[in-house]
Amino acid sequence: MADPDKVGKDWQTDELDAIVEDYFDMLTAEIEGRPYVKLHHNRSLADRIGRTHRSVEFKHMNISAALRELGMPTIHGYKPKQNLQNALFEAIERYLSRQPFAAMVDRNVGFGVAEAASLFEEAPPPLQIRNVPRPEGLERLVRKFDPTERDFRNRALGKAGEALVVDFERRRLEQAERRDLARKVRWVAQEDGDGAGYDVLSFNTAGRERLIEVKTTRGTHTRPFFLTRNERALAAERPEHFRIFRLYEFSKAPRLFKLKPPLENAVILEAETYRVSFG
């Protein structure tokens, strides 16, 4: 039963730690395909900490909003809602610092991946300029658990995405009765190594080359990704051929959107690192 003394009051550290742990328990079950009932979790937690059902539900949606900024998966049905308190960011930071959740998500690359034939294509997210900076606590959380860096360093995830696109392109051409072109599709990054500026060589049905750079994430469609100088140069040199295939929600059923040059019309490009030399 809800404690009337807590109505309208900020959540305390122990309460935030409890609901963050509860959220990740449900999220882990969802990722692993294990059944669970949100209502049961809600009632149990509400009774334990003395908060209302609605208050617990809203805080779960606050956690979804924070995880979306991290580019992490979120619980289906808990739509992200803002109005976040810095103490919640600290609770998420404590959890992620002591629990291997991010590592578990990144390790299970093949889990839940759909057949290439069912790879669903959507429109790219609209370009949005952030007018209000992130709260300080959220900015610190994003820097500490940088999802873009995790994706970049996760070679197994990158290779799984590239393999899916190779298969998808071959199936697409075969279904278009261009088996001759399907046989010519090459996994360039695997066969020749990195450095070409793209991962997959494919074709349209007229035989025109498609130079595909694959960017894969387990996060949402708005998670940032890295673009190398070589990839950006190729996009400028061969804009009619170069395409970025962005695969997202890879832990569930992979989805796809495509970006074509000029990339500046679709995304915000920011310098991230510097090359250091001695002359």
Question: Looking at this protein, which amino acid is placed at residue 197?
Answer: G
More confident residue, 99 or 140: 140
CB 19 within 8 A of CB 57: no
What is d(CA 57, CA 46) in angstroms, rounded to the nearest whole number?
Answer: 9
Q: How many CA atoms lie within 13 A of 263 on its CB side?
A: 23
Report helix, strand or coil for 184: coil
Question: Looking at this protein, which amino acid is placed at residue 7?
Answer: V
More confident residue, 77 or 253: 77
What is d(CA 212, CA 199) in angstroms, rounded to the nearest whole number?
Answer: 6
Average pLDDT over residues 180-199: 94
More confident residue, 219 or 44: 44
Average pLDDT over residues 196-222: 93
Average pLDDT over residues 168-195: 95
Average pLDDT over residues 91-115: 65
Decide if pLDDT at 113 tops 50. Answer: no
In this prediction the pTM is 0.73
CA dist 239 → 175, 181, 273 (Å): 26, 21, 25
Decide if pLDDT at 6 tops 90. Answer: no
Average pLDDT over residues 119-135: 79
Average pLDDT over residues 6-28: 91
Average pLDDT over residues 34-59: 93
Query: Residue 39 — very low, low, confident or very high, per pLDDT cuts 50/70/90?
Result: very high
What is d(CA 183, CA 203) in angstroms, rounded to the nearest whole number?
Answer: 11
Decide if pLDDT at 129 tops 80. Answer: no
Decide if pLDDT at 272 tops 90. Answer: no
Average pLDDT over residues 24-45: 91
* Other Cβ atoms closer than 10 A to 37: 9
Decide if pLDDT at 182 tops 90. Answer: yes
pLDDT for residue 118: 62
Burial class for 250, CB neighbours closer than 10 Å (0-12, 13-18, 19+)? buried
pLDDT for residue 277: 67
What is d(CA 85, CA 227) in angstroms, rounded to the nearest whole number?
Answer: 33
Average pLDDT over residues 95-103: 75
Query: Residue 102 — very low, low, confident or very high, per pLDDT cuts 50/70/90?
Result: low
CB 78 within 8 A of CB 41: no
Average pLDDT over residues 114-142: 75
* Other Cβ atoms closer than 10 A to 84: 20
Query: Residue 278 — very low, low, confident or very high, per pLDDT cuts 50/70/90?
Result: confident
The mean pLDDT value of the chain amounts to: 86
Residue 59 token pair: 């805080």
Average pLDDT over residues 40-56: 93
Average pLDDT over residues 139-164: 82
Query: Residue 19 — very low, low, confident or very high, per pLDDT cuts 50/70/90?
Result: very high
pLDDT for residue 143: 81
